[in-house]
Amino acid sequence: MTSNSSPVLYAIQYSEFDIKKGACVYYETMKTNFSEDQKFHWIRNFVCPEPNLQNKLIVLSIENQKLLGCPVIISDGEKYKNNRNEFRFNACFIIPSQADALKYEVAVRKLAKYLRTLEVDSCFLTDESLKKQFLKPALDEIVRQINENGEQCSVKMYSSVFVNLKLLEQRAEPPPVASSDVPMFCNNIDLSDLEQMDPMTQRVIASIDGLRHVNKISQDTDTELALVKAAMQNLIYHNVIRLVPIFSYKNRYIVTPKIQELYADVNLQKELVFFVVRNGAKDCVSFYECFRMICAFDHGSLVKDVVNKMKANNIDEKKLVQYCALKGYLRRVRDYRISLDESIYMNNNTETSNGNAEEVEAAKSKLKKTLRDLCDGTNDSDSLACQGYIFNPRSIPTARKPTQQPTAPMDSYLTLWK
Amino acid sequence: MDRIAFEKDLIAILLVVESAHDKNKLLYKYEQANTNIREPEPVNFHTSYSIVIAKDFDPPSVKDDDAPRTTFQNFDETTIAILTSPNSYGSHVEVQVDDVIFVGHTLGLEQSTDLKSFAIFFVLRAIAKASVIISYQEMSQRIGTAIRCEEQRVHYLKNEYDKLLTFIQPHEIAASDSSNRRQNEDDKAREIREQAYSTMAEESQLAATLKQIFTDLQVSGEINITINNWLNVSCCLPHRSIALNCSLEPDFAFNVLSNAEQILKPYYGILLVIDPSALLASLPIDSSSTLSTLVRHLRSSYSMSRLSLETGLPLPQIYRLASHLLYWGRAKLIYPIYDDNVYIISPDADISKHGSLSKLYKETFRNTTNYPTLQEALAEYSDAVPFYDHTNRSDNDSELQERLQCVEWLLRHRLLVQVHYYYYLVLPNDNRSDFKDEYKQTRLPRPRVPLRRNQYSSNLFESSSKNERFHLTSENIDIRGNLLSVNSYDYNMASSPSTNQFSYSSTHHSRSTDTLKTMTGTSQDDVFASSSVNSNTTTDTGRYASHYLTKVSQALPNEQLEYQKSLAIAIKDAKEQHVTDFLRLIKYFNGTYHLEEITIMENMTRLQVLTIIEKFQSIVARALHPDPNPILQI
């Protein structure tokens, strides 16, 4: 049991229903808040409750300890004829109150199920000698193992029955992956882990270089886009990669308050400096240069402007920008094109495009309609680009596929940088 | 208020009373009417081949949203009574069963002879956040305290208890009669019981109040009720005051809200989220008069210190009122709207054309001369330019006024965030962030051919090239060594003027050797770091450095000597007056103070501060980002 912080699991309390005494504790691995007579008197209704609470997870807390139990009732008129025709027991976990009960739920339920099966098959819990010989050391061992490695245990309970329990950390669902996102490793990965990954992941993981976006990876590895996205989502869940925006010299970025951490922590500075050195450079760059370069991203400046301004020879701007985006020092300022369809701007738009041939006209209007629909403030330029529309900074976005000149004037679109 | 989302976690409200003669009893229950009719169970074909899919191992969170409600409905009254039976009086209670959690606060009735304790319980979904549970417990405590007061005054609870019991008793007898009924009878009994609850709300005042509390909480997250037509209770759930698009963790935001007073700054301003007249009308009769004074004086361009002057209220009281308004979701904290402010579009703003905010904008600004759509209004803040540039274009007052209204509206709906300039002192010759040696050792391949390795005693130095170069410049070192003794003499005199003659010689000696060591260290670096900007720390720089070193060490007493020295070297060329000004401000250049804050702390104008900083551009990096104070994000 660790002394510095509160352990993962204080104790396991095994209690059962006795016809003479009512609910009572048979064995507990350690004395807890719940073992005192008065406290136990309060919780006995929960520990060995009436049938309507059986097989339900019950969580109670006293002071700074929480009790998790899943009461079990086995009804058998033959076997328990001396015991009101049923047998009630409960193996409760006692955990620190600030811990998340959801994490333990599966383990508590599984242990209850194991014990129930053992009891039904071989009277494990009603045979006094078996209980004494196997149950007590097994419970002790479970608590010891879980506290030791923090999440799981594998304990031999009786004859050939092994109890495998694992505490499940609740993790947030990984966000959906867009075609325009760029995956980037956030830790050094162990190549030996690679063999354990599924073939799909093995196929795409080599293409992750911090610059290629999901769409490109899918094309380069000749795999289906949806599968690549799923693989990426899986990797995000396991905290192997994180998503950053596409790098481009005409991107804009803004510094985030997180840069304060970088300024204060020498280790982070070292990591940054070692990362951003241009390949083949003889010397390491100074933090002074890097930091000034990061600070030069002020919402308005494009990456190429910053590069031209700083003239830092040994800094690889791609690495710098992607690294800072990964670490959250920089936030991409995305541009959203928004079409102003309800307004008067549409009129001169139709006039200019009158001269074209009928078929082209029809195709174009159809195309334009979809583009106009896309430009409603929910798609930024990256996601439009992934759908085949590219931006010309001087005019409206045009479709790449049919070769046409853009005819709509600039002012029917708004650009919002956010 | 554009929040119409219902309280998702709340399932039901319960009143349980423990009397002296009876066990804990559920007296009243109100749950949300089940709007969606439950689908009939699919018909199961029991064949020997059917596979039973185990669902037990699914944690509650993966089940659908309505599951907790069904779990709760499956509990009968006795079970609930057992679950809510008191453990100790005057404490928060929290009991979780499967995916339902019962939270409340049990209050003992020591003075009453008939009743022992009672509690109002809220039934929540088990995945509710810890902060949500706490706020419900506190709400239960508040309501409970009011009821207890009324009980002590006029035996309110006892009367209501007797009244409610008359509704329950017939059902209880029926229930105990048929201990093993069949399913449909059970359902029927339940139905009758449900009807009893609805009649209770009509007959009993307390039941009606509880029902009111439930609906109020669901709709607005606030209650404002009168217990027994006598005691007014009003409280709110703070997590409902936090905007839906707030990026903070709910528990963290709750913490911030509860301790808002500690993190308020005098230069923040208050922006009301609702109309001031509506706010004043909604205040209870016995509300603090200072609150209404404050609300009347509020302007979006006033900081709290200015408000303190205007209203004559002390600043701590303004803080308290501001955090109160914030807690109730009536106000948002902003930096006051000045001409110099820089706004950008918030990264999580909803700018879609078909979003609810777009519609709301059109309704709000229907007859404006300004922009007709939200997107056009936002386009103005698409580039980070000072607010001054926007206002400049409009000439007359009414247009200006409208523009201000527009900004207030955009700020209120979190579509804009303000960015500030932060300043960081970075030195080109800072030893702490000098990783060159380590880089060379770890990242670069070792030189393949050692150059003239045997000519010198190579084990003194790490790499042969270093070795060689060192010797090439060793002549300089000697000269420098001579100079250094002079420099360190100056330095000693300057740094410890109180040292008397007798102790002087010894300090001088030790210091000079120290400095010599460090100086040779740096010089060794300098020789190799040809790309470093301020690499000419050789020869005569030491003299200038020591010139400002005393001032530097006074301004930054906590920094290491090395750092102070490199700073002194970096500013050696500046004029004395500039250095004095700069060192006065230097404590703000660690990125935690923005320009506006510096001006307020030092009582200077923006221009003054900017001029000082401009002189030292090479060592002060400027970053533009939002204020990280979480209170501004709520």
Report the distance separating Cα B512 and Cα B495, nearest Å: 13
In this complex, the residue of B76, B438, B529 whose CB is nearest that of residue A52 is B76
Confidence class of residue A323 from pLDDT cuts 50, 70 and 90? very high
Residue in this structure with the two tokens 């913490």, named with its chain if needed: B255
* Residues B112 and B259 reside in one and the same domain: no
Residue B192 lies in a domain: yes
Interface of A with B in 64-123 (CB under 8 A): 101-102, 105-106, 109-110, 113
A237 has a chain B CB within 8 A of its CB: no
* Residues B253 and B195 reside in one and the same domain: no
**Residue B455 pLDDT:** 41
Phi, psi angles (nearest 5°) of residue A415: -115, 125
Question: What fold characterizes domain A181-245?
Answer: Arc Repressor Mutant, subunit A (1.10.10)
- Give the distance from residue B125's alpha carbon to the nearest chain A alpha carbon, in angstroms: 13
* Residues B154 and B285 reside in one and the same domain: no
Q: Give every CB contact of residue B448 below 8 A, 6+ residues apart in sequence.
A: none
CATH of domain A11-166: 3.30.450
Domain boundary among B196, B216, B239: B239
* Residues B117 and B79 reside in one and the same domain: yes
**Residue B545 pLDDT:** 52
**Interface-testing mutation among B380, B414, B433, with chain A (most A C-beta atoms within 10 A):** B433
Q: Which of B76, B83, B85 is nearest to B174 (CA)?
A: B76
- CA distances A105 to A71, A101, A147, B27, B62, Å, are 13, 6, 16, 31, 13
Q: A416 and B382: CB-CB below 8 Å? A: yes
* Residues B109 and B180 reside in one and the same domain: yes
- Give the distance from residue B309's alpha carbon to the nearest chain A alpha carbon, in angstroms: 32
User: In this structure, are residues B388 and B339 in contact, taking their beta carbons and an 8 Å threshold?
Assistant: yes
Q: Work out the average pLDDT over B162-173.
A: 77
Q: B623 and A282: CB-CB below 8 Å? A: no
Residue-wise pLDDT tens digits, A45-60: 777 777 778 888 888 8
DSSP string covering B146-206, please? HHHHHHHHH-HHHHHHHHHHHHHHHHHHHHHH-TT--HHHHHHHHHHHHHHHHHHHHH-HH
A206 has a chain B CB within 8 A of its CB: no
Confidence class of residue B46 from pLDDT cuts 50, 70 and 90? low
A168 has a chain B CB within 8 A of its CB: yes
Q: What is the dihedral of CA B194, B198, B204, B209, to 10 degrees?
A: 110
User: In this structure, are residues B613 and B620 in contact, taking their beta carbons and an 8 Å threshold?
Assistant: yes
* Better-scored residue on pLDDT, B87 or B167: B167
Sign of CA dihedral B312, B313, B316, B319: negative
Report the distance separating Cα A388 and Cα A399, nearest Å: 6
* Residues B168 and B269 reside in one and the same domain: no
Residue-wise pLDDT tens digits, B108-144: 888 877 888 888 999 988 888 888 888 999 999 999 9
In which element (H, E) is residue B67 found? helix B67-73
Residue B376 lies in a domain: no
In this complex, the residue of B375, B436, B592 whose CB is nearest that of residue A283 is B436
User: Among all residues of chain A, which has the CA nearest to that of B76?
Assistant: A52
User: Among all residues of chain B, which has the CA nearest to that of A68?
Assistant: B96
Tell me the domain boundaries of chain A. Answer: 11-166, 181-245, 252-333
* Residues B302 and B192 reside in one and the same domain: no
User: In this structure, are residues B627 and B592 in contact, taking their beta carbons and an 8 Å threshold?
Assistant: no
Residue-wise pLDDT tens digits, A325-384: 999 999 999 888 887 755 444 444 443 344 444 555 555 555 555 677 777 777 788 887
Burial (CB count <10 Å: 0-12, 13-18, 19+), residue A130 = middle
Domain boundary among B271, B300, B334: B334
Residue B353 lies in a domain: no
Report the distance separating Cα A243 and Cα A255, nearest Å: 18
Q: A288 and B436: CB-CB below 8 Å? A: no
Residue B398 lies in a domain: no
Q: Work out the average pLDDT over A313-320.
A: 87
How many domains are there within chain B? Answer: 3
- Domain carrying residue B124: 3-34+65-239
A170 has a chain B CB within 8 A of its CB: yes
In this complex, the residue of A57, A263, A343 whose CB is nearest that of residue B591 is A263
User: Among all residues of chain B, which has the CA nearest to that of A99?
Assistant: B130
Highest mean pLDDT among A42-46, B6-10, B227-231: B227-231
Q: Give every CB contact of residue A91 below 8 A, 6+ residues apart in sequence.
A: A12, A13, A14, A69, A70, A108, A111, A112, A115, A139
Read off the pTM: 0.77
* Residues B270 and B211 reside in one and the same domain: no
* Residues B229 and B105 reside in one and the same domain: yes
**Residue B268 pLDDT:** 92
Residue B125 lies in a domain: yes
Q: Give every CB contact of residue A109 below 8 A, 6+ residues apart in sequence.
A: A57, A70, B56, B57
Report the distance separating Cα A55 and Cα A37, nearest Å: 25
Contacts of A36 in chain B (CB under 8 A): none
Residue B572 lies in a domain: yes
Report the distance separating Cα B118 and Cα B106, nearest Å: 6
Contacts of B439 in chain A (CB under 8 A): 273-274, 277, 283-284
Residue B316 lies in a domain: yes
Q: B590 and A263: CB-CB below 8 Å? A: yes
Domain boundary among B315, B334, B353: B334
**Interface-testing mutation among A43, A66, A284, with chain B (most B C-beta atoms within 10 A):** A284
* Residues B88 and B20 reside in one and the same domain: yes
Contacts of A286 in chain B (CB under 8 A): 428, 433-434, 531-533
* Residues B9 and B106 reside in one and the same domain: yes
**Interface-testing mutation among A48, A65, A254, with chain B (most B C-beta atoms within 10 A):** A254
Highest mean pLDDT among A351-360, B249-258, B458-467, B538-547: B249-258
In which element (H, E) is residue B526 found? helix B501-528
Contacts of A99 in chain B (CB under 8 A): none
Q: Give every CB contact of residue A359 below 8 A, 6+ residues apart in sequence.
A: none
Q: B627 and A46: CB-CB below 8 Å? A: no
Number of H helices, E strands in chain A: 16, 18
Phi, psi angles (nearest 5°) of residue B13: -120, 140
Contacts of B375 in chain A (CB under 8 A): 338, 340, 377, 414, 416
Residue B526 lies in a domain: yes
Contacts of A270 in chain B (CB under 8 A): 433, 435, 438
A173 has a chain B CB within 8 A of its CB: no
CB pairs below 8 Å between A and B: how many? 182
* Residues B504 and B448 reside in one and the same domain: yes
- Give the distance from residue A103's alpha carbon to the nearest chain B alpha carbon, in angstroms: 9
